[in-house]
Structure 1
């Protein structure tokens, strides 16, 4: 699978916000039912994109296949943390995520990675475990949400 990557720029706000919105809502609806919508603060209105773009420690990349932007991955290579990893729902279960993760490890190294994902996101859990991650902790949020910490 031929994927290419480029750094996000300000002009990508609309596309990245679309990817955030569709991927987070897709994942939420899998657990809570059709029409359910949820994600991190600002995921659907551009605020999350702006925070990510302003994060000087992050390598925030657009994922492209056949000249179409199909996802994003944002990592902090210094502390080996995956900040966001989203692909458009129509690209799920096509090997895109595994190909991206292989490319990330080839570029940044395989040793130690950390990430956080919602506790209800069983498909994410399966994906990360398939790629060598193990659940190592939990995090509670004031509004009642819970996430799991995965590491490899």
Structure 2
């Protein structure tokens, strides 16, 4: 599916090897910027096991994101149609392309593709200020809770977005 210049295709096992370096760059960039580490991310972010577990082998709906022929990221969603609820499990864009609107385009694709979802939730580290700007200022999420104590390196922001019903 093409949406605003990006291609979204359902993630397959064969996509993992192409997405590993993209995911590694994205998370390592955050680790340097916000955690004062040279590398870091969720377990398995750098060997493909994260993408295999959550993007391919889970009950998630996952997409590889391409700009032309180039894989630039992925998005992992957990959709509950009965409850009209969605959880954004993961969204990453290659760190070389941050700030060019591709993450926002990916989120707009999600809302366009899943108009039946009334409530979206996600979470992000409390220290990841760039993520806060993206989710809150760009995508319209609100912080609904902070979990994990007062240590900003361990705390997580819980975010929620309620979609208003469209007037016809």
Q: Tell me the TM-score normalised to structure 2 length.
A: 0.82
Question: Where does the alignment leave 5 or more consecutive residues of structure 1 unmatched?
Answer: none
Q: Work out which of the residue numbers 40, 52, 64 in structure 1 matches 2:42.
A: 40
Q: Work out which of the residue numbers 113, 138, 149 in structure 1 matches 2:146.
A: 138
User: Is residue 114 of structure 2 the alignment partner of residue 121 of structure 1?
Assistant: no
In 1, are the aligned partners of 2:19 and 2:71 still within 8 Å (CA)? no
What is the aligned-residue RMSD (CA, Å)?
Answer: 1.7
Structure-2 residue corresponding to 1:87: 93
- Residues paired across the two proteins, number: 148
Over alpha carbons, which structure has the higher Rg? 2
Structure-2 residue corresponding to 1:21: 24
Map 1:53-92 to 2 at 5 A. 53-56=56-59, 58-78=60-80, 79-92=85-98
Cα shift readout 1:73-94 (whole Å, capped 9, x = no counterpart): 1101214000000000111100
Question: Where does the alignment leave 5 or more consecutive residues of structure 2 unmatched?
Answer: 162-168
